[in-house]
Chain A
Amino acid sequence: TKCVHLPPEVTATSRHYVDRLFDPDPQKVLQGVIDMKNAVIGNNKQKANLIVLGAVPRLLYLLQQGSSSSELRAECAVVLGSLAMGTENNIKSLVDCHIIPALLQGLLCPDLIFIEACLRCLRTVFISPVTPVQLLYTDPTVIPHLMSLLSRSQRTQEYITQIFSHCCKTPEHQTVLFNHGAIQNIAPLLISPSYKVRMQALKCFSVLAYENTQVSMTLVNVLVDEELLSQVFVRMMQRDQPIDMQLTAAKCLTYMCRAGAIRTDDSCIVLKTLPCLVRMCSKERLLEERVEGAETLAYLMEPDVELQRIASVTDHLVAMLADYFKYPSSVSAITDIKRVRHWTLLIEPSQQHTTLHTTLDHDLKHAHELRQAAFKLYASLGSNDEDIRKKITETENMMDRIVSGLSESSVKVRLAAVRCLHSLSRSVQQLRTSFHDHAVWKPLMKLLQNAPDEVLVMASSTLCNLLLEFSPSKEPILESGVIELLCSLTQSDSPALRVNGIWALMNMAFQADQKVKGEIVRALGTEQLFRLLSDPDSNVLMKTLGLLRNLLSTRPHIDQVMSSHGKQIMQAVTLILEGEHSIEVKEQTLCILANIADGNTAKELIMTNDDILQKIKYYMAHSNVKLQLAATFCISNLIWNEEDGSQERQDKLRELGFVDILHKLTQASDPNLCDRAKTAMQQYLA
């Protein structure tokens, strides 16, 4: 088993430890394991050596042997747990040796000390990022067995809940745990006398409830010692509780609220959770806490303008967030020390110097984390309320920070910055003022050149707003040659990008001059335009129709576009009107027809197309008023008196029976439709 080549001086003592595991005398083996245990504590080099020398398979063998004494088995598990406390490589080696199934098997043994040692080792293995969490779910009997072990001791409770909270990463995991009674089994642990148990149980609930309606709905009705769970969480958020507990309890309530289990105007959200999360953003908190606090708060209030308003006035939050950009600074010394301590809880003492080595990297990472969290929170705060947006943009150097955030090296920061920009770009006033003053379009355009899809989605969506007709940035953006870029977006595989691309083009075409419109049509190409008209995503289709409608506005433009692309457009329109589409899509299409009917020469494309005329007739008698209105509008344009050839058109349409329909529509219950029909009828009477 030992065929590894290492420098002899390194392995001499280590080999001795491994050799003793093979002694025929079980008593000597036990002593060997105990000595090994004492030798590896806090000694990473020793751990690595023992692993390389093949100690793990032998320890696992001893651990699994039914003939081993329970003391020996427990000691083996302890040594393995100690080995797992080393580097990530150690964990990888352990996992490669199939330690997980072996330890899980060990849990079936009745001996509590052995079970606790196995669980402790499993805990250490599973909380490592290198361990595939799926290994916990491979054997379907494992989760129910772990649930049953929760009643054994405070240690089993602590380790199992910690394993759960680290291994619950997907909705499937949530469902598995939920179905095996995680809530009923873990809820009583929230009032355990042990802080560690309470804390791990709380963490479990936070991962179980995240974006999970089923879990959240169940949680609100759970009683712990005759107290509602939400009240237990509220108590855990009290200001004299440890920060970690306050923060995690706030997360639980946030997730329950977002999942719809708690109303956003519930006092436990408004008066407890939200203020607690705002406190977590304060300068006094550790960096990690500030990051998590800000992200959770952003998530909590994202869909609710009232919560956004409350947060915006709570404890100077908007100003407090500005401090997130002032890291690293000299003030952060204290938090650094604390952070190191955090780490040493997870790893054994000898690791400390390694941690300090990486402090610089961490500083940088923390600076990024802080900035992206602040951007996210600003984005959430400003997503609906104009006054809050104003407050944000008036925060010291805010626009500059966003602008520089857009070109940061970290994708996470760039994404958050563009989200923030997007949120603020919903403000007409900001578009007119600060956005223009700071020329945000420049870094935004740069960002669009080369970025991952998620960034592109946000950036292009922001661009849509910047291209609105009243935005002073529209002109410079147009001049920067954005059309090609947007057209290329419409060819993306991502529906969101296609929507944003075509949306931006639509905004650009709104009341644009002929040159711009021509450029759009040229750059996009009719082929692509018609491909978009048959896009499976209805949003894309809607915006494409919108673009068409904007292209087909003002009479000269209509005639020009129709003269060059009339045939294809009419074909597309026919197809859409015949296809299975939503009311909105058909309405938009009928509006395009109405625009075409407004042209001078374009009219004829409809008048000479009996098929289309029949369709218009059909929609005039449709059950949906919106469609009736749009269709009537189209006819009204065709028969408009003051234009050339109106008499012939009126005659033809009368022959086709449109007058009867119009006559009927003058009796319609909808006043708009009624008016529209009457106006149309007047064209005949004049």
Chain B
Amino acid sequence: MAELGAGSLLLGDPAFNYQEAELNERLKRLYPAVNEDETPLPRSWSPKDKYSYIGLSQNNLRVHYKGHGKNHKDAASVRATHPIPAACGIYYFEVKIVSKGLDFLSSLLPLSPIPGWDKHSYGYHGDDGHSFCSSGTGQPYGPTFTTGDVIGCCVNLINNTCFYTKNGISLGVAFTDLPPNLYPTVGLQTPGEIVDANFGQQPFVFDIEDYMSEWRAKIHGMIARFPIGERLGEWQAVLQNMVSTYLVHHGYCATATAFARATETLIQEDQTSIKNRQRIQKLVLAGRVGEAIEATQQLYPGLLEHNPNLLFMLKCRQFVEMVNGTDSEVRCFSIRSPKSQDSYPGSPSLSPRHGATNPNLHSAGADSPTCSNGVTPPNKNKSHNKYPGVSSASSSSSSSPSSVNYSESNSTDSTKSQPHSGTSNQEETRLGENDSEMEIEAEHYTNGVAENPSARIMNGTYKHQEILQAQDISLEDSCASRQLCGGNQAATERMIQFGRELQGLNEQLCREYGKNVTHKKMLQDAFSLLAYSDPWNCPVGQQLDPMQRENICSALNSAILESQNLPKQPPLMLALGQATECVQLMARVRSGSCSFARVDNFLH
């Protein structure tokens, strides 16, 4: 009892907290595939699963023997709080012999006096260096060990073997065909014996990460060399189809067409439909939600009526964009001000990110594998400064994909080498008009150089540099003076009015479909923006981030696709999701290799 008390006293110790943090960090690094909510990792000896001759201290890491130690009957053992999760792939812990003992060590299922002597238990004994596997008679295995030695035990859950280490040296495989659910265990038998466990609290003496790297390389090699045999041609077709459907899904029309041409495949959806979706997406991503709603209603009549939740989400977003000053309903009031027009030039180029299948990636904007849709505006890199969160996501794809897209918008120029064509401008056009007209109109305001007559006639020619400069200036301006609804009074009034309409829509939906907590929260958050003098720097300011447009954008896109009887998820994302699920399933069915076959290892 005394030891347990000591353990809880130490909890407030800052050194202990530091150690705890270090432990968490190390465990996360060693066993990234382990979901500790499902399968917690062993972190200390269990005060419950031990013999009475065993005493625990120092946060249940130190074990001492307090029995008589006269014969084998006095042997006692303790096991860790949890069994070793299979998702570890390779699991390792060490024990330091503080004071010389006789026997000890290893992983076992039931609590037996000395590890290795009982059914399903395995041990390595210090007095004779023998290994014991489910019996009282040992096999010669390794050297003996004594005070000061650090003995480690590595369980390989991929091939179900185990080896021990002594002072950082691997002693070679001790057991094969190990059963699952083993616990780290120690057994002691003589008075005065003390051992300290290291489940990751400290750096290990043995370089386990090096050992893991070998297995990681092995498994990655296995995946890379997985034989596909005669299905080689079939695979290629499948892969091409996956790429193609992904491009189509996200409306990368030109890229998809180019890809289809190069691979001689067919696109299921017709061009106009893709372009329509693409335009709607652009509008949402540009923050012009009102126009997006309008376009959707026009092109897909009945769609939003059948999806009141989606409509409500869109309207909420529209309200947020009004605050932002990006929605056209407020922007029309400030059309002369060039600054507001392009205040979020970066966002239209961002594709929806790899959705819910990859929650880890979502949290870290900088690492997210968003890909450019190939319409990166020329001032792309400059705009990054404003939104560090999205910066690195698209920078890598600024030039090459755009040249593919180029051929679509301006086929006569496609052989020229200007990487940044007017393509980006074109994307922000209004809908329902003829393509060629739009191009010209687009020139007017998307570049923010409407006053410059030269911009109108040249579509990404040698004067380009000049345009870029003009844009830079306007961007800096807009940065400096970010105001509610673009700072326009009339726009603000329109916004307030829109807010009321939104409130009305919510009430209507409540009447029809009953209360909806999500809607209420959404509305609350949106309206909260008005409570702050600087909405961009307030607790709910996150909503104004252009990144927030992506979810609603992909929801709308999926809804449109569904209405056209097309898959609402691209097969690539399905495959990705399935692979991720598979790996998680492997962990549950105790296939250790899952730890080195993680999907995100293969996403770059």
Cβ contact within 8 Å between B210 and A314? no
Residue of A nearest to B220 (CB): A240
In the A-B complex, list the 9 residue pairs whose CB atoms are closest, starting with the nearest.
A239-B214, A316-B172, A240-B217, A315-B172, A240-B213, A313-B143, A271-B168, A239-B210, A315-B170
Are A240 and B172 interface neighbours, CB within 8 A? Answer: no
Contact (Cβ within 8 A) B168 A314 = no
Question: Bound complex: CA of A238 vs CA of B217, how far in Å?
Answer: 11
A392 CB, min distance to chain B CBs, angstroms: 14
Given the complex, which residues of A lie within 8 Å of B173, measured CB to CB? 316
Q: Is B213 a contact partner of A313 (Cβ separation < 8 A)?
A: no
CB distance from A230 to the nearest CB of B (A): 16
The contact string, 1 if C-beta is below 8 Å from chain B, for chain A 294-320, is 000000000000000010011111001
Closest A residue by C-beta to B141: A316
Binding site for A on B (CB under 8 A): 142-143, 163, 166, 168-173, 207, 210-211, 213-214, 216-217
B217: chain A residues at CB < 8 Å are: 239-240
Chain A nearest CB from B556 CB (Å) reads 45
A452 to B358, CA, bound (A): 70
Q: Inside 8 A of A314's CB, which chain B residues have their CB?
A: 169-172
* Closest chain B CB from A307 CB (angstroms): 11
Instruction: Determine if A293 is an interface residue (Cβ-Cβ < 8 Å).
Output: no
Interface presence of A405 (CB below 8 A) = no
Minimum CB distance partner of A314 in chain B: B169
Question: What are the interface flags for A253-273 relative to B under an 8 Å C-beta threshold, 1 for contact and 0 otherwise?
Answer: 000000000000000001110
Measured in the bound complex, the distance between the Cα atoms of B196 and A444 in whole Å is 53
26 contacts between A and B (CB under 8 A): A238-B210, A239-B210, A239-B211, A239-B214, A239-B217, A240-B213, A240-B217, A270-B169, A271-B168, A274-B169, A275-B169, A275-B170, A310-B169, A313-B143, A313-B166, A313-B171, A314-B169, A314-B170, A314-B171, A314-B172, A315-B163, A315-B170, A315-B171, A316-B172, A316-B173, A320-B172
**Given A271-B169, A271-B207: A313 in contact with B214 (beta carbons within 8 A):** no
A320 to B172, CA, bound (A): 10
Closest Cβ of chain A: how far from B223's Cβ, in Å? 14
A74 to B132, CA, bound (A): 69
Q: With A240-B216, A240-B217 as known contacts, state yes or no: A313 contacts B210, CB within 8 Å.
A: no
Q: How many Å lie between the Cα of A274 and that of B214 in the bound state?
A: 17
- Taken residue by residue from 53 to 85, chain A's Cβ proximity to chain B (1 for < 8 Å, 0 otherwise) reads as 000000000000000000000000000000000
Docked pose: A240 CA to B212 CA in angstroms: 9
Query: Smallest CB–CB gap between B196 and chain A, Å?
Result: 21
> Closest CB of chain B to A232's CB: distance in Å?
16
CB distance from B69 to the nearest CB of A (A): 28
Q: A630 to B213, alpha carbons, bound, how many Å?
A: 65
Whole-angstrom CA separation of A238 from B212 in the bound complex? 10
Write out the residue numbers on chain B whose beta carbons fall within 8 Å of the beta carbon of A315.
163, 170-172
Of chain A, the residue at the smallest CB distance from B221 is A240
A313 touches which of B142, B207, B211, B216 (Cβ 8 Å): B142
Residues of B within 8 A of A316 (CB): 171-173
Distance from B512 Cβ to chain A, minimum over Cβ atoms (Å): 60
Q: How far is the CA of A274 from the CA of B168 in the complex (A)?
A: 12
**B210 — which chain A residues lie within 8 A by C-beta?**
238-239
Least CB distance from A594 to B in Å reads: 47
Given A238-B210, A316-B171, 20 other A-B contacts at CB below 8 A?
A: A238-B213, A239-B213, A239-B214, A240-B213, A240-B214, A240-B216, A270-B168, A271-B168, A274-B169, A275-B169, A275-B170, A313-B142, A314-B169, A314-B170, A314-B172, A315-B163, A315-B170, A315-B171, A316-B173, A317-B172
How far does the Cβ of A412 sit from chain B's closest Cβ, in whole Å? Answer: 28
Chain A nearest CB from B203 CB (Å) reads 12
Q: In whole angstroms, how far apart are the Cα atoms of A273 and B210 in the complex?
A: 13
Rounded to whole angstroms, the CA-CA distance of A316 and B142 in the bound complex is 8
> Which residues of chain B come closer than 8 Å to A320, judged between CB atoms?
172
How far does the Cβ of A293 sit from chain B's closest Cβ, in whole Å?
Answer: 15
Question: Which of A238, A270, A313 has the most C-beta atoms of chain B within 10 angstroms of its own C-beta?
Answer: A313
Centre residue among B142, B168, B173 by max chain A CB count within 10 A: B168
Question: A275 vs B142: C-alpha distance in the bound complex, in angstroms?
Answer: 15
Interface residues in A625-672 by Cβ distance below 8 A to B read none
CB-nearest residue of chain A to B206:
A271
Which of B169, B207, B213, B214 has most A Cβ within 10 Å?
Answer: B169
Residues from chain A with a CB closer than 8 A to the CB of B169 are 270-271, 274-275, 310, 313-314
Which residues does chain A contribute within 8 Å of B168, judged by CB atoms? 270-271
Q: How far is the CA of A316 from the CA of B163 in the complex (A)?
A: 11
**A240 CA / B170 CA spacing, docked (Å):** 17
B138 CB, nearest partner CB in chain A, Å = 16
Closest residue of A by beta carbon distance from B216: A240
CB-CB nearest in chain B for A276: B210
Q: Which of A189-248 contact B (CB under 8 A)?
A: 238-240
Within 8 Å CB of A271, what residues of B?
A: 168-169, 207
Residues of A within 8 A of B211 (CB): 239
Closest chain B residue to A309, Cβ basis: B143
Nearest Cβ in chain A — how far from B167, in angstroms? Answer: 9
Closest CB of chain A to B206's CB: distance in Å? 8
CA A475 to CA B513, docked complex, whole Å = 108
Distance in angstroms from B595 CB to nearest chain A CB is 15
Q: How far is the CB of B484 from chain A (nearest CB, A)?
A: 52
Give the residues in chain A near B207, CB-CB below 8 Å: 271-272
Q: Which residues of A contact B171 (CB under 8 A)?
A: 313-316
A191 to B432, CA, bound (A): 58
Interface string of A274-292 (1 = CB under 8 A from B): 1100000000000000000
Q: How far is the CA of A118 from the CA of B214 in the complex (A)?
A: 39
A308 to B214, CA, bound (A): 25
Complex CA distance for A485 and B59, rounded to whole angstroms: 73
Interface string of A452-487 (1 = CB under 8 A from B): 000000000000000000000000000000000000
B592 to chain A, nearest CB (A): 17
CB A684 to nearest CB in B, in angstroms, measures: 58
A313 to B164, CA, bound (A): 11
B593 to chain A, nearest CB (A): 15
Instruction: Among A239, A270, A272, A316, find the residue whose CB has the most chain B CB atoms closer than 10 A.
Output: A239
Contacts of A274 in B (CB 8 A): 169
What distance in Å separates the Cβ of A563 from its nearest Cβ neighbour in chain B?
58
* A316 CA to B131 CA, complexed, in Å: 13
Q: How far is A39 from B211 in the complex, measured between Cα atoms in Å? A: 49
CB contacts (< 8 Å) of A272 on chain B: these are 207
Q: Which residues of B contact A239 (CB under 8 A)?
A: 210-211, 213-214, 217
Chain A nearest CB from B149 CB (Å) reads: 12
Residues on B with C-beta less than 8 A from A310 are 169
**Cβ of B273 to closest chain A Cβ, rounded Å:** 46
Kindly list chain B residues whose C-beta atoms are within 8 Å of the C-beta of A240: 213-214, 216-217
State A313–B124 Cα separation when bound (angstroms).
14
B218: nearest chain-A partner, CB-CB: A240
**Cα(A240)–Cα(B215), bound, Å:** 8
Indicate the member of B142, B170, B173 with the most A CB atoms within 10 Å.
B170
Q: Cβ of A238: which chain B residues have Cβ within 8 Å of it?
A: 210, 213
Complex CA distance for A271 and B216, rounded to whole angstroms: 21
Q: Which residue in chain B gives the minimum CB-CB distance to A271? A: B168
Residue of B nearest to A282 (CB): B172
Report B-chain residues with C-beta under 8 Å of the C-beta of A270.
Answer: 168-169
Residues of A within 8 A of B213 (CB): 238-240
In the assembly, what is the distance between CA of A98 and CA of B13, in Å? 79
For the complex formed, measure the closest distance between the CB of A169 and the CB atoms of chain B, giving whole angstroms.
34
Closest to A317 in B: B172
Give the CA-CA distance A61 to B449 in the complex, in Å: 67
Q: When chains A and B are docked, how far (Å) is the Cα of A315 from the Cα of B213?
A: 18
Q: CA A316 – CA B174 in complex, angstroms? A: 10
Give A271 to B168 CA distance when docked, in angstroms.
7
Residue of A whose beta carbon sits closest to that of B214: A239
Of chain B, the residue at the smallest CB distance from A272 is B207
Cα A272 to Cα B211 in complex, Å, equals 12
Bound state CA distance, A275 and B216, in angstroms? Answer: 19
In the bound complex, residues from chain A placing their C-beta under 8 Å from that of B214 are 239-240
Query: Roughly how many angstroms separate A317 CA and B173 CA in the complex, as a whole number?
Result: 11
For B170, what are the chain A residues with a Cβ–Cβ distance below 8 Å?
Answer: 275, 314-315
